Amino acid sequence: MANGRLAGKVALVTGAASGLGAAMAAKFVAEGARVVLTDLNGAGAERHAASLGDAAAAIAHDVTSPDEWTAAVAFAEKTFGGLHILVNNAGIGTGGTVESTSFDDWRHLHAVDLDSVFYGCKLALPLMAASCARDGKHGSILNISSIAGVIASANMAAYNSAKAGVRHLSKSVALHCAKQRYNITCNSIHPVFIDTPILDNLVGGIEREEGLAKLGRQIPLGRVGEPDDVAWGAVYLVSDEAKFVTGTELYIDGGISAM
């Protein structure tokens, strides 16, 4: 049940046209935030924003472009007057061993899954720090990594590398914000398989339900997760309930990291 845990805050969520980003944006609005949804699929982000009402707005956004990051942050300020919460969620997933991964695939995956997080943190922090100081509010950066950033696999070399980078970059950002006394925390979330479009690459060639069941058998709880499983964790980490939680990670993984 929503109880206004994010009332008075402005959030920007990348990759918000579908999947985890869409679920987090919806939960944030329900909890009282005003939310900017960004996505390479600008039309999809706009449709989802329209479904959430006047507290949501959308902009097309290529997260691999620093210039488009600057435009997205400026859009948040122009539309809602500031920025208190940043969720770096946009990402892609491709398989491949260290030998089979092409140079182009390596660079592209890191650009989307890791470089974009650096751009977002770097370019949003000035507005976030100013907004939090002006409004007397706690700010939050939340970076969506993966359990693959903690547990490696032979056939996910680039994805393992990028998501592990997100985990450690988040800690550096957390320490920087603390040292600057920004009143902004930074944490990462590490989901296991969640029923979103990113799994399509993992279940290719078989019926999707059969593929999800196969993936679920690898998880102690016996199933893949749902987007809201991650969205509720995100609500906690960007709320004032977590104002003393920074530089850490939340595993939403059905118990797989306990094995």
List the catalytic residues. Answer: 159
φ/ψ of residue 204, rounded to 5: -60, 140
Q: How many CA atoms lie within 13 A of 97 on its CB side?
A: 3
| Cα–Cα dist 88/71, whole Å | 16
In which region does residue 60 sit, left (phi positive, over 0), alpha (psi from -120 to 50) or beta (all else)?
Answer: beta
**Can you tell me whether residue 155 is helix, strand or coil?**
coil
Torsional sign, CA 49, 50, 51, 56: positive
169: closest CA among 139, 145, 140, 138? 145
| Cα–Cα dist 140/162, whole Å | 21
